[in-house]
């Protein structure tokens, strides 16, 4: 496997801080020398940030009410 290919498979682990020290040093050296892998890293970072940013919607109030009512109703029935 080429050096790029080997690192390509571990870029997420690098982003998540899950690499051992030896691999971390190796991948950082490669990223500083390889614009293509650097671009891959940056594009993945942006992808994750975008996905996380759009996840703050509240659920509709009527849905909240229905979930609670249904759960309480079923549990009350079961306890009788």
By CB under 8 A, name the binding residues for another protein: 5, 8-13, 16, 18, 35-37, 39-40, 43-44, 46-55, 57-59, 63-64, 66-68, 70-72, 74-75, 78
CB of 33 to another protein, least distance (A): 14
CA–CA distances in Å: residue 3 to residues 19, 35, 45, 70: 16, 13, 21, 56
Residue 50's region, left for phi above 0, alpha for psi from -120 to 50, else beta, is alpha
CB of 19 to another protein, least distance (A): 10
CB of 65 to another protein, least distance (A): 10
């Amino acid at each position: 496997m080429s050096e790029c290919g080997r690192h390509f498979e571990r870029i997420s682990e690098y982003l998540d801080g899950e690499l051992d020290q030896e691999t971390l040093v190796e991948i950082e050296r490669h990223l500083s020398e390889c614009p293509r892998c650097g671009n891959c890293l940056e594009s993945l970072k942006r992808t994750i940030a975008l996905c996380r940013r759009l996840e703050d919607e509240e659920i509709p109030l009527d849905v909240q009410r229905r979930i609670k009512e249904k759960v309480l109703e079923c549990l009350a029935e079961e306890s009788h």
